[in-house]
Amino acid sequence: MFFYGGSWQGGERSKYLFVANALASRGYVVIVPDYRVFPDNRFPDFVEDGAKAVRWSLDNATNFGGDPAQLYLMGHSAGAHLAAMLTLDERYLAAEDISLDRIRGTIALAGPYAFYPSQTGSVAAIFANLADENEARPIVFVGGNEPPMLLLHGQDDETVLVANTLNLAEAIQQAGGSASHIIYPDVGHIGIVLALARRFRHIAPVLNDAVAFIEAQRLLTARLQSSAARH
């Protein structure tokens, strides 16, 4: 499942067919959901929409040839923030009667995981209804028991600072969780998602790195299940 970006103020799934095509070309069933945005909606509406999309996917995956036991989240920018919130703050999935372990892994591209909404003027109003802005900061909810995460960022990103990725990866690792990160040199905020499109894959190996992460997790799951069966 891929969540697009747009500063929580715009975006539509039809513009991200290139992402779905990229992942589908590697054999995956891909879902790109829309979600409510500002100004008609504020945090946490869009995260709640993401949880509902996960519920729908788990209930309908088999209708499209997918495996509901192998669900991975992915997102870019605001969409990466959304995916991270679902991965780290289990309350959203719990509200849809979903256990966090139904998420096998999360791939997040250039997300604002550690930002302070009140200090980010362009989006402050989207979170102004919160009594505690920490409720919207994914890094606050790291517990060490979250699904594995792959955090990707462009070194030249001037929209969302790379420190967000470095700080979240460190927090998860220090808590005993599983997080790896890759920083691509000479790649900006848009370039990292554009690199999924066939004609722009020379920008960075985002697709290959995402696929490698998914396949590694699938292999690990298979090994654990095999070991459990023998015992």
pLDDT tops 90 at residue 220: no
Report pLDDT for 223. Answer: 74
**Which domains can be identified in the chain, with CATH numbers?**
2-230 (3.40.50.1820)
Contacts of 213-219 with C-beta under 8 Å, sequence gap 24+, read 213/105, 213/107, 213/148, 213/150, 213/180, 214/28, 214/72, 214/104, 214/105, 214/107, 217/72, 217/104, 217/105, 217/148, 218/70, 218/104
What mean pLDDT is reported for the chain? Answer: 96
Residue 231: pLDDT above 70? no
Joined tokens for residue 225: 């299940």
Angle between helices 17-24 and 206-230 (to 10 degrees): 50
Rounded CA-CA distance 125/104 in Å is: 33
Average pLDDT over residues 176-197: 98
In the structure, what pLDDT confidence band is assigned to residue 229 with cuts at 50, 70 and 90? low
Average pLDDT for 147-174: 98
